[in-house]
Amino acid sequence: METSRLTLPLLLIAFSFLLTLSAQMTGIFKCSERGDSPSTCRSLVGYSSKQATTYGNIQTLFAVKKLRSILEANNLPLSTQRTQGVNPNQVVRVPIPCSCSNGTGVSNRTPVYTVKKGDTLYFIASEIFGGLVQYQRISDLNRIPDASEIDVGQRFWIPLPCSCDKLNGQDVVHYAHVVKSGSSLGEIAAQFGTDNTTLAQLNGISGDAQLLADYPLNVPLRACNSSVRADSLDAKMLLPNSSYSITANNCIRCSCQASNNWTLSCEASQLKPSSTWQTCPSPRCEGAESLFVGNTTNTSCGPRSCAYAGYSNQTILTALSPDPCSGSGGSGPPGNYASTTLSSSFSYVVMLIQCALICMSSLAM
């Protein structure tokens, strides 16, 4: 009789443990193809090498078309050379093209890696690409019959995890962060300006117990608000904190800094335009001839500024802030779009079931 009374509590505890395991990280990022989220976008991965390398080597490894894209993502000066050294374990943000399909996001058929002597899929995934992808994922998406047998000279697509999903209806830049041993959701959330609940929800886990070292974690980076129009050729431009972009055929430089109230700051780049334009069009603000993109003037009622609103084949578009004398105020400072107060439904279910199991165990005892 005593044995049977103990059996039920033990079974309930075991069931609770299995529920927890079922929420383990997979390193695969969810990416919806429905709703108002785009099916393609630019995402970021955090790459680090155990060996010293250069920005040029990273550009080649990830097949990034222009070195400038890496410099912009890391807020580095344009004068930085390909040969500039990167220290061991230094994290470099690398932009990748993301594509959503079947509910998950992967880098769009890039990068492609050529197998070298001594390589294994595990070594390629964990060492060469810094744990940003699991070797089983490379094997599955490249339809490799036997992951333990690969040949020198074979070329494999490296399906890096990414996402284009909005968060609570707001645009964010999804960043693949490789979890370090001993990390916690709280530490990672504090580092990237989000919260535990958001990280758990996006990654399908319930807490630190399911956080796996050397696996990529989907981290939403808040993007600066901008006045760029939907019909602009750079309408998809999203910049997270401490990054910039040279846009409008090299004529405009936009940057995102949290200290600027999460508002995109743009100005004339002072660079030579690309081949599309012989000279840069004037970034003079329509409706205020004395203002140019990035300028602010003070009126008797308050400041008025000229913002970058995008570009077309012929011109640079601008947006003049509302006249403070007209009494049309703004909506106030934006909220933290990289956070959410909504909890994962899975987490709630697990928590409720575990509470019920504890109660049942107590009654059975």
Alpha-carbon gap, residue 82 to 119, rounded angstroms: 26
Q: How many helices (H) and strands (E) does the chain have?
A: 8, 16
Q: What is the pLDDT of residue 360?
A: 52
The fraction of the chain above a pLDDT of 70, given in percent, is 82
Alpha-carbon gap, residue 161 to 101, rounded angstroms: 12
Q: What is the pLDDT of residue 33?
A: 66
Tens-digit pLDDT profile for residues 259-309: 999 999 999 999 999 978 999 999 999 888 889 999 999 887 888 999 999
Question: Does position 190 have pLDDT exceeding 80, yes or no?
Answer: yes
Tens-digit pLDDT profile for residues 219-231: 999 999 999 999 9
Alpha-carbon gap, residue 248 to 269, rounded angstroms: 10
Asked whether the beta carbons of 35 and 145 are under 8 A apart, the reply is no
Tens-digit pLDDT profile for residues 159-179: 999 999 999 999 999 999 999
Cis bond before residue 111 (omega within 30° of 0): yes
Tens-digit pLDDT profile for residues 79-92: 999 999 999 999 99
Question: Does position 345 have pLDDT exceeding 60, yes or no?
Answer: no
Residue range 350-356: average pLDDT?
49
Q: What is the pLDDT of residue 337?
A: 41
Query: In sequence order, which residues have a C-beta less than 8 Å from that of residue 288 and are 6 or more positions away?
Result: 297, 304, 306, 320
Strands (E), 133-240: 155-157, 172-178, 216-222
Question: Does position 11 have pLDDT exceeding 70, yes or no?
Answer: no
Q: What is the pLDDT of residue 116?
A: 98
Distance (Å) of CA 145 to CA 27, 183, 209: 22, 35, 33
With tokens 């094997």, the residue in question is 139
* pTM across the whole model: 0.84
Collapsing DSSP to helix, strand or coil, 268 comes out as: strand
- Range with lowest mean pLDDT among 47-61, 286-300, 350-364: 350-364
Token code pair at residue 75: 């807020």
Q: What is the pLDDT of residue 288?
A: 85
DSSP assignment of 115-138, as one string?
--TT--HHHIIIIISTTSS-HHHH
DSSP 208: G
